[in-house]
């Protein structure tokens, strides 16, 4: 039997006004696999994730989840075992840090007791390298990197089976970035989660990815197993991973 | 040559704005209908409702109270001046009460709360939209309409009649203060005159107006915030649009409701 991809994008198109951002994305992520998406800023990586979630509606093309058109599936059921770290963390600034992390538990059909939810939030915070003291602060009192990690704690709070990370290590120091990379790898390897990670950080690619996809010009420029990346001859990929100023990718965008 | 072209341009722009207005009205109506439909579909978020009742209702009390107090006082002076022209100074207490309860209480209260609450709702939801907090809610299996919009709208619909009711009392009291201190009315005469001429429908029509205005100012604030454009500019625009639209709609609705209650 052929395995069905957890998530598959077929010829995805998305424009904002005259700005054609995605012009035919084809991509598949198998269950329990970690895909890392790289690409210049503004190439539509975040928009791709939003189309998968239905937060943005694509103009053309399809999103398949477990082989079924995402517009026909029970989206609520999918979201129940889903977690996402947004690029800007997207923490609820009217709530304390622990209330953000335990949001699902506090607002479930049968809500968890507040003390238990707080305990749980603190244990999740420790997994992203944040002390218990941060739990009772407001998001606005944290640095950008700390907010990012709270967002990560919130995304993994219910041990989801599908997780999206939008630039998880942006704004973090190298040590903390290492902690986060290991955490993502652990979620995939040990918990069996399916993960899509957007990053500009090549160490994240090395540590987290099973597969890599590079977006450029609204399409997937290169995709393949992470091991093939170093031997790939694609000039776009080569320029990107080596950070060269000269090459086919224009630096004026 | 130029004149016909100008005239045509003007017509076209009138047509365009009319169409835009109709389209906007349709979108707001849809938005309101969707919000109301969530009223009968669980889950509900009662703690959010309580939060908003406190924010929209309780914290608007000073604004509404002060507005009513000064309005009642000024009204007493004006009616006295007008009444004196045909020796009818004694109507001051009853006209003040009727004016406050039927018209000025709900309208001025509605406009003040629109300034205070529509803007803050629009700014808050707009910021949540821009910083992807609304998207984050969706990914956390929480419907933003149920969690953000319905509690705010419900709270405003519940709080406004209470606010206006309190404002009515304070407004009449403002008239009483001016009447007894400045215009030489006897305290008991003033109170008796107020009570004798005031009818129950005066009060209820004012409170119904208040509830409608509460709905308008909250749904408009939510609409513009929820659909805010990107960036700080988008949020600023949403806030302005919310206050202006809510105020105009309140005045328009006030006229229609007054016709209906007449
Ligand atoms: N809601 C939106 N409205 C208009 N343009 C948008 C919107 N979201 C994204 N874009 C545009 O789409 C392009 C890709 O954005 P994004 O996916 O955020 O890039 P990145 O690859 O850096 O994550 C950008 O040009 C951005 O301006
Ligand atoms: Mg992005």
Tens place of pLDDT for every residue, chain B, 262 residues?
Answer: 778 888 888 999 999 989 988 998 999 999 999 999 999 999 999 999 999 999 999 999 999 999 999 999 999 999 999 988 988 888 999 999 999 999 999 999 999 999 999 999 999 999 999 999 999 999 999 999 999 999 999 999 999 999 999 999 999 999 999 999 999 999 999 999 999 889 999 999 999 999 999 999 999 999 999 999 999 999 999 999 999 999 999 999 999 999 998 7
Measured CA to CA, the distance from residue A110 to residue A125 in angstroms comes to 23
Q: What is the mean pLDDT of chain B?
A: 95
Question: What pLDDT score does B187 carry?
Answer: 95
Atom of ligand 1 nearest to the CA of A50: 17
Helices (H) and strands (E) counted in chain B, each on its own, are: 12, 0
CB proximity list for B43: less than 8 A, separation 6 or greater:
A109, B146
Q: What is the mean pLDDT of chain A?
A: 93
Q: In degrees to the nearest 10, what's the CA dihedral of B219, B220, B225, B231?
A: 170
Q: Which of B45, B132, B147 sits opposite A86 (nearest CB)?
A: B132
Domain ranges in chain A? 7-81+160-242
Asked whether A241 lines ligand 1 (CB < 6 A), one says no
CA distances from B52 to A2, A210, B151, B152, B168 (A): 52, 47, 7, 6, 23
A171 touches chain B (CB under 8 A): no
Q: What is the CATH number of domain A7-81+160-242?
A: 3.40.50.300
Per-residue pLDDT tens over the stretch A204-234: 999 999 999 999 999 999 999 999 998 888 9
Atom of ligand 1 nearest to the CA of A44: 17
Judged by CB atoms closer than 8 Å, whether chains meet at A91 and B133 is answered as: yes
Per-residue pLDDT tens over the stretch B75-106: 999 999 998 898 888 899 999 999 999 999 99
Nearest CA distance, A92 vs chain B (angstrom): 6
Domain ranges in chain B? 47-261
B136 touches chain A (CB under 8 A): yes
CB B235 within 8 A of CB B121: no
- Indicate the pLDDT class of residue A106, thresholds 50, 70 and 90: very high
Closest CA to A66 of A12, A25, A9, A7: A7
| Backbone φ, ψ for residue A61 (5° rounding) | 90, 175
Asked whether A55 lines ligand 1 (CB < 6 A), one says no
pLDDT of A244 strictly over 90 = no
Q: What share of chain A is helix, strand, coil (3-state, %, to 5)?
A: 35, 25, 40
Could you tell me the pTM of the whole model? 0.92
- Enumerate the β-bridge partners of residue A222: A214
- Indicate the pLDDT class of residue A1, thresholds 50, 70 and 90: low
| Sheet arrangement for strand A34-39 | A82-85, A162-166, A194-198, A34-39, A211-216, A219-225
CB B138 within 8 A of CB A53: yes
Nearest CA distance, B213 vs chain A (angstrom): 27
Supply the ipTM of this predicted assembly: 0.93
Burial class (CB in 10 A: 0-12, 13-18, 19+), B216: buried
Measured CA to CA, the distance from residue A45 to residue B8 in angstroms comes to 46
The DSSP string of A193-242 is -EEEEE-S-HHHHHHH-SEEEEEETTEEEEEEEGGGTTT---HHHHHHHH
CB B75 within 8 A of CB B102: no
pLDDT of A3 strictly over 80 = yes
Q: How far does residue B137's CA lie from ligand 1's centre (Å)? A: 20
The token duo for B148 is 């953000």
Measured CA to CA, the distance from residue A22 to residue A237 in angstroms comes to 18
């Amino acid at each position: 039997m052929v395995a069905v991809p957890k998530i598959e994008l077929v010829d995805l198109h998305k424009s904002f006004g005259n700005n054609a951002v995605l012009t035919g994305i084809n991509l598949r992520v198998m269950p329990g696999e970690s895909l890392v998406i790289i690409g210049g800023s503004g190439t539509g990586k975040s928009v791709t994730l939003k189309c998968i979630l239905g937060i943005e509606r694509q103009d053309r093309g399809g999103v398949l989840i477990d082989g079924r058109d995402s517009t026909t599936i029970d989206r609520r059921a999918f979201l129940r075992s889903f977690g996402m770290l947004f690029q800007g963390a997207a923490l609820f600034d009217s709530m304390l840090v622990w209330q953000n992390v335990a949001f699902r538990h506090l607002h479930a059909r049968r809500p968890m007791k507040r003390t238990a939810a707080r305990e749980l939030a603190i244990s999740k915070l420790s997994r992203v390298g944040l002390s218990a003291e941060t739990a009772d602060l407001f998001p606005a009192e944290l640095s950008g990197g700390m907010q990012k990690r709270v967002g990560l704690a919130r995304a993994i709070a219910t041990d989801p089976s599908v997780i999206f990370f939008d630039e998880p290590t942006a704004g973090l120091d190298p040590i903390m970035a290492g902690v986060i990379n290991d955490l993502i790898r652990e979620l995939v390897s040990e918990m069996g989660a399916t993960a899509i990670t957007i990053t500009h950080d090549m160490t994240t690619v090395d540590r987290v990815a099973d597969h890599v996809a590079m977006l450029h010009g609204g399409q997937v420029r290169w995709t393949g197993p992470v091991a093939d990346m170093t031997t790939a001859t694609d000039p776009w990929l080569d320029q990107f991973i080596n950070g060269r100023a000269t090459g086919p990718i224009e630096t004026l965008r | 040559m130029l004149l016909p072209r100008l005239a045509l341009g003007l017509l076209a722009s009138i047509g365009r704005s009319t169409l835009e207005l109709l389209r906007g009205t349709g979108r707001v109506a849809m938005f309101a209908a969707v919000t109301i439909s969530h009223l009968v579909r669980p889950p509900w978020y009662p703690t959010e409702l309580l939060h908003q009742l406190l924010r929209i209702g309780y914290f608007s009390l000073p604004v509404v109270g002060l507005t009513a107090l000064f309005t009642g006082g000024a009204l007493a002076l004006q009616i006295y001046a007008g009444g004196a022209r045909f020796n009818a100074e004694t109507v001051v207490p009853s006209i003040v009460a009727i004016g406050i309860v039927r018209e000025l209480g709900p309208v001025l209260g509605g406009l003040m709360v629109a300034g205070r609450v529509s803007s803050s709702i629009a700014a808050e939801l707009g910021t949540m939209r821009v910083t992807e907090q609304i998207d984050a809610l969706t990914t956390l299996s929480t419907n933003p309409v149920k969690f953000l919009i319905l509690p705010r709208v419900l709270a405003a619909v519940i709080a406004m009649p209470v606010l206006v009711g309190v404002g009515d009392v304070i407004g009449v009291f403002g008239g009483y203060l001016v009447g007894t201190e400045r215009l030489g009315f006897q305290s008991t005469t003033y109170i008796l005159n107020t009570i004798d001429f005031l009818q129950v429908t005066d009060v209820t029509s004012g409170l119904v107006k208040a509830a409608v205005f509460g709905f308008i100012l909250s749904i408009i604030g939510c609409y513009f915030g929820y659909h805010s454009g990107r960036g700080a500019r988008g949020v600023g625009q949403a806030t302005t649009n919310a206050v202006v639209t809510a105020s105009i709609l309140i005045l328009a609705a006030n006229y229609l409701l007054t016709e209906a209650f007449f």
